[in-house]
Structure 1
Amino acid sequence: MPADTAVDLSGRSVLVTGAAGGLGRLVSRGLADAGARLTLVGRDEERLRALGIDGAATASVDLTTPDGPARAVQAALDAHGSLAGVVHAAGVVAFGPVAEVDDDTVDELFLVNALAPLRLLRAASAPLTEAAAETGDAFLVTISGVVAEKPTAHMAAYSASKAASWALAAAASGELRRAKVRVVDARPPHTETGLATRPVAGSAPRLPQGLRPEQVADRIVAAILAGERDLPTSAFGG
């Protein structure tokens, strides 16, 4: 599908992970406004329901477990009978020199930021391919961030986990292009979602003023609707 071909999400099933987070909730609302039928996934189902998105299914899923991503995909299929899109908006961050980051922290970073999107894509590839055969487009979006393009000192483990997500999207995009499934990685600059104040380890260094979450979420939704295939840092204008 050419990048300038509009995508109609009206009535189509889309799964959002991390849907109650700083970006996830905004992306979810943008997709709902575009007519998508949503399945919202996170660890706290009450927070998902509190978003108040009409018609959205919710599911509490731990994406760090081997079967968690597949259960998320199945929740969307059970709720809506099909799956035309996935947005992986779940993510964790850690700070500190790589020599000081312990194994548990590394494991969590890679489980959420790298292995979860890989497992989501593996579980979702068949229903996404089926949806694309009917409408000409399906998609899976990952959000790796600027550190994938510009790995940052004192954030080496985090940067590596996000770079893995970018590499996954780039390679899988080629694998699924013929099936008309877009695998899109978004790499926004630092964004004021509050994630940096909730690291799984370490303390954030002084960071520049970030973009507004609304700006980033709107850009991601716009890219989905426009049929875009990549969202580098430069695409966010920040």
Structure 2
Amino acid sequence: MSLFAAAFAWLFDAANWAGANGIPMRTLEHLIYTVVTLIAAGIVGVALGLYIGHTGKLRGAAVLVTGSLRALPTLGLLFLFALWLGIGLTPVIIVLAVLAVPPLLAGTYSGIEAIERSTIDSARAMGMTEWQILSRVEIPLAMPLIVSGVRSAALQVIATATIAAYLPLGGLGRFVFDNLSLRRWDAVIGGAIVVTLLALIVDGLFALLERAVVSKGVRAARDRGLGEAATKRKPIAAEAA
């Protein structure tokens, strides 16, 4: 039996779907780590991204910081925080949040910077306050790119949250790391497959959300633009015929 056939046999074994160590419970733990991380990272990344995008200040520093955070070794940080704070969930959440902040920050300020300046100037000319401009104009228009940043962060966290098994905590990483030393390759590959499927499902859900948060005005303008382009193509096609 090949390794992948053994892995799928492990996946479809009913014994691996029951109890506290079963796939459903480990998946739930993995999702909890992901959600807690995204909330913690979002408080920092999205808030800073809104400030940078709205004011235009600290953009250079943000680019430098996000690039630096992406280069940090995840396992090295995990061991460092574990030695400092002790074994537990806190070091894992901090390390995963460090990984999630760059895409959240970049997606947020990029989304606001992509808005036409004439739109912002028109809002100011109407007498809107800076908070009203941010909350009623910039955030709704930037929401697709903000969700795109959350989507990227979620995928990175889901893929990296397996490191929680090093401390050891729960999550899908337990299937990988607990069985690695035992050379139970069916469970190792099976656990990796579950992580991959979870990431694909979450990515698909965020892709739908990304389309759903496009404002009605932007969607209407886009549809109108496509309609005008199609109308212009028809005479050209008729002339060519």
Per the normalisation by structure 1, the TM-score is 0.27
Rg: which structure is higher? 2
Query: Going by fraction, where is helix more abundant, 1 or 2?
Result: 2
Query: Going by fraction, where is strand more abundant, 1 or 2?
Result: 1
